Amino acid sequence: MRLRSLFLLPAFVALLLLTGGPETFAQQGRQSFQQPQPQQRGFFQFFWQQPPPPPVAQPQRQRVAPVARRRPAAPVVVRDDPVIPKVDVAHHILLIGDSLANLLASGLEDALEDRPDLAVIAKAKPDSGLVRADFHDWPKVATDLLAGDAKISLGVMLIGLNDRQALREGDTVHEPLSPRWLELYRERIAAVSQVFAGRRIPLIWVGAPPVQNARLSVDLVTFNEQYRQQVERSGGQYVDLWGAFVDAENRYTAMGPDVSGQTMRLRLGDGIHFTSAGARKAAHFVDVLVRRMFEPGTQGSVIALPVSPETGAPTNPELQPGGIERLIDQMVAGLPVISLPAALQAKPAAGPILPLTGTAGPGDQALLVSIPEARGRGEIAGQLDRIFGEGILPEPKPGRMDDHRWPR
């Protein structure tokens, strides 16, 4: 028993040395109750225990750059209409009259959209006319407008809707369309025309269109005839809208073709005023004259006709609107034309009108010459016999259209 204890004692000491001694057991017992402390190495652990593994480096958190939002590219707009360069307004077109003139002004602005050098100045006044000068005196207003704007190069007037009322002359009241009423009305038309003629500014007077009220339409026909006569005497131009707003039977119609040929509503429900399509159609007839006056090649200049200082009418009657047609009628009738040169007066430009059907009169027998009667009379008769009798054409002259010979 003692011998066994002697052998176990050295073995126990050796075991303590190998495990680090008694402190190691105490430390292991306290690890479950305390935080881990740095372990002390024993004598044998310094030689036998492997070094602790190196600390693992924690990956650093990288900052992600914010995503840059790309702005969407601006849409590319492809325009079919040509880009018109900016042009200074060189000429003003003064448009005066009643409520129809206001609508005509808007249509004319649309028609002249491609002409930035021309500007439409709408100075129309609804419910106005030429009869009530105490309400709106158009000759005086036109004079003030022309004096205040030096760029006015053309005047356009449309009026007549409100003129079916009595006209007062002093203490006398004249009924509409009576003889004296028409005389005074013509004087007021001429007064407006003279305002433009005195400043040598062309005037386009637009006739009133037909309306749904048949009685008013009949009176407007009389008004339009007075406008045409007085304006042409002053050297202006008259534009007739009547045929553009009637049907095939010459009656008022609210529907009709617009400027593009499509059937559209041209008049409003009141049977008087224009729709936008109707105003554009009415302005088309004025637009034609305006473009003719303000040609781009002439820098928009208007050629003013020489007028008489007394009457304001052109000195050459053939230069008036419709003057050429009147000259032709005079020459056909054989009347002398004083304003033409002597060479044109001696020989008329057109001969007498002859019927194409029916029998000729006694005085026209000399113009009818038959071919058989011409035969047997000299060289001409021989040529006729060869052409119509034998079918032989005459010898072509060199250089003439019937000369088909190859040139040498």
Residue whose pair of structure tokens reads 């003889």 in the numeric block:
179
Q: Which residue would you say has higher pLDDT here, 399 or 365?
A: 399
Q: Which residue has the higher pLDDT, 123 or 60?
A: 123
- Strand 263-265 to strand 255-257: parallel, antiparallel, or no bridges (unpaired)? antiparallel
Span 138-191, pLDDT tens digits: 999 999 999 988 889 999 999 999 999 999 998 899 999 999 999 999 999 999
**Tens digit of pLDDT for each residue in 347-397?**
455 556 666 655 545 444 444 444 444 444 556 667 777 777 777 777 777
- Closest to 121 (Cα-Cα) out of 92, 143, 142, 149: 92
Tally of CB atoms within 10 A around 156:
28
pLDDT digits (tens, 9 = 90+) for 31-79: 554 555 555 555 445 445 556 667 666 666 666 666 666 666 666 666 6
Q: What's the CA gap between 31 and 45, in Å, rounded?
A: 19
What percentage of the chain carries pLDDT values higher than 90? 45
Which pLDDT does position 5 carry in this prediction? 66
Closest of 304, 342, 97, 125 to residue 205, by C-alpha: 97
Residue 111 in tokens: 């028609």
The whole-number average pLDDT for the span 247-265 is: 92
**Amino acid (1-letter code) at residue 103:** L
pLDDT band of residue 305 (cuts 50, 70, 90) is very low
Q: Of the candidates 244, 266, 270, which has an alpha carbon nearest to the alpha carbon of residue 255?
A: 266
Tell how far CA 331 is from the center of its chain.
Answer: 42
Q: Which residue has the tokens 């935080």?
A: 35
pLDDT of residue 191: 95
pLDDT at 31: 53
φ, ψ (nearest 5 deg) of residue 237: -125, 140
The predicted-structure confidence for 78-99, as pLDDT tens digits, reads as follows 666 656 567 788 899 999 999 9
Q: Record the pTM.
A: 0.56
Which tokens hold the place of 309? 């200082």
Enter the tokens of residue 165: 């009322």
Strands 263-265, 152-158: pairing kind: unpaired
Where do we find the tokens 């060869």?
Answer: 386
CB-based contacts of 391: which residues, under 8 Å, 6+ apart? none
- Map out the domains of the chain with their CATH numbers: 91-304 (3.40.50.1110), 375-408 (no CATH)
For residues 93 and 154, the answer to whether their CB atoms sit within 8 Å is yes
